[in-house]
Amino acid sequence: MDISKTLSSQAKPVRACVVGLGHWGPNLVRAIERHPNAKVVVAADASPERRALVAQRIPGLFLESSLADCLKKYDFDAVFVAVPTEFHFQVGMQVLEAGKHLFIEKPLASNSQEALELCEEAARRNLQLMTGQIFLYNGGITAMKKYVDSGELGNLFYINANRTNLGPLRSDVNALWDLASHDIAIFNYIFGALPMQVTCSAYHLLGRPVEDIAQGTLLYPGNRVAAFFVSWLDPQKKRDITVVGDRKMLTFDDMRPERPIKIFDKGVTVSRPDEYHDTFHNFRMAIREGQSIEPEVTTGEPLVNECSHFIDCILTGNRPLTDGQLGLDVVRVLEALTRSFHENGKPVSMWQRDRASASPAAQIQPAARPN
């Protein structure tokens, strides 16, 4: 059942404000407007040039130079924040203190302490807080999760992810925080757990203050492993993930939106000591080569799905899939990976006793927005 259509006939529209009109902000405006029960009433950006450009691209949209001006002049329920990461905490707290629901692009904050404070403030004020982890609203990733949870792949061994392109080059965060934040969220989602230990290396190939490429390994409970490589300096745009189980294997390719998933009936079986084999190699393992299939799965419109999910959560009071706690967990992993590459790839522990987490109060689901 389409919850958006059901809610549209029984609730007042969610009025939204978008803060930050750079590359991503205008896309948020359009995605929000796709929901049958939402309306963008105003957007803000400090740059007169950006406001002028957006005014041409989205005629009729009211524009202001700051969130403060929006709060003074307009009435709205929620704010979608797409400003540089260094301003996430400042703007996010301003939104929450004004009593507005908050959607904030990944990463949730520049560090785990700021992310934790955002979680606590949202819980204290009974407001929705959602992190913009767009790939968890991608139909291909959703299908991958279903195949894993169904047991079709068997017990998982590892996940490997590549996320590369030639640009866009950012200066507010490095390639690790910009790109690998997607993969960390996906790894945690697929494994249904947080890593116990991480290692990472990252490099300033362009001589800028921020690292342009990074690679890392995350060890999850059950001796399961995830690895990633991210780069702003690659001639090919890649967004691919491989999931390897003991029964089957699966690949996801976001560059093939109509057929992003491929399942391979392949695997390796380690022999039991009591089985007979004619060679030592065969005694140790047997490789199974089977057919591959491409199920009918599409990536859909992840940004529209993401924005609609947040709006629906405001209307129903349900906890978002990518809530503040998920955003906090991703930031903590990013901090550990950063510590690792600053210590020349040294393994960094992420045991529960060291994990910052929202207080029990922050786990309480916000009440449904009144009609």
* 218 plus 96 within the same structural domain: no
* 285 plus 150 within the same structural domain: yes
- What mean pLDDT is predicted for residues 97-104? 98
CATH number of residue 256's parent domain:
3.30.360.10
- In this predicted structure, what is the pLDDT of residue 78? 98
Closest C-alpha to 50, from 72, 14, 20, 79? 20
> Beta strands 249-253 and 261-270: pairing type?
antiparallel
- What mean pLDDT is predicted for residues 208-228? 97
* 253 plus 264 within the same structural domain: yes
- In this predicted structure, what is the pLDDT of residue 1? 45
Residue 5 has pLDDT above 90, yes or no: no
Share of the chain above pLDDT 70, in %: 87
- What mean pLDDT is predicted for residues 142-166? 97
* 128 plus 174 within the same structural domain: no
**How far apart are alpha carbons 361 and 182 in whole angstroms?**
27
Number of domains in the chain: 2
- In this predicted structure, what is the pLDDT of residue 278? 61
Residue 170 has pLDDT above 80, yes or no: yes
* 163 plus 297 within the same structural domain: yes
Q: Give a yes or no: residue 361 inside a domain.
A: no
Share of the chain above pLDDT 90, in %: 84
- What mean pLDDT is predicted for residues 262-282? 70
* 146 plus 291 within the same structural domain: yes
Reported as a pLDDT band with limits 50, 70 and 90, residue 282 is low
DSSP label at residue 176 = I
The strands making up 213-220's β-sheet, listed across from edge to edge, are 285-293, 261-270, 249-253, 233-245, 156-166, 224-231, 213-220, 197-203, 348-349
The CA-CA-CA angle for residues 244, 246, 252, to 5°, reads 25
* 248 plus 231 within the same structural domain: yes
Of residues 159 and 1, more confidence is placed in: 159
pTM: 0.89
* Structural domain span for residue 33: 3-133+303-322
Q: Are 163 and 230 in contact (CB under 8 A)?
A: yes
- In this predicted structure, what is the pLDDT of residue 287? 73
> Beta strands 38-44 and 101-105: pairing type?
unpaired
- What are 40's two structure tokens? 């963008």
The CA-CA-CA angle for residues 20, 21, 24, to 5°, reads 95
CATH number of residue 48's parent domain:
3.40.50.720
Choice among 33-42, 133-142, 355-364 with the minimum mean pLDDT: 355-364
Reported as a pLDDT band with limits 50, 70 and 90, residue 351 is confident
- Amino acid found at 150: S
Reported as a pLDDT band with limits 50, 70 and 90, residue 353 is very low
- What are 191's two structure tokens? 């494994």
Residue 11 has pLDDT above 80, yes or no: no
Q: Characterize 174-205 residue by residue with b for buried, 16 or more Cβ atoms within 10 angstroms of its Cβ, and e for exposed.
A: bbbbbbbbbbbbbbbbbbeebbbebbbbbeee
Q: Report the mean per-residue pLDDT for the chain.
A: 91
**How far apart are alpha carbons 264 and 67 in whole angstroms?**
50
What are the start-end ranges of the H helices in 153-289? Answer: 175, 181-191, 280-284
Choice among 8-17, 56-65, 165-174 with the minimum mean pLDDT: 8-17
- Report CA 127 to chain centroid distance, whole Å: 20
- In this predicted structure, what is the pLDDT of residue 279? 62
Name beta bridge partners: 164: 231, 238
Q: Are 230 and 180 in contact (CB under 8 A)?
A: yes
Reported as a pLDDT band with limits 50, 70 and 90, residue 355 is very low
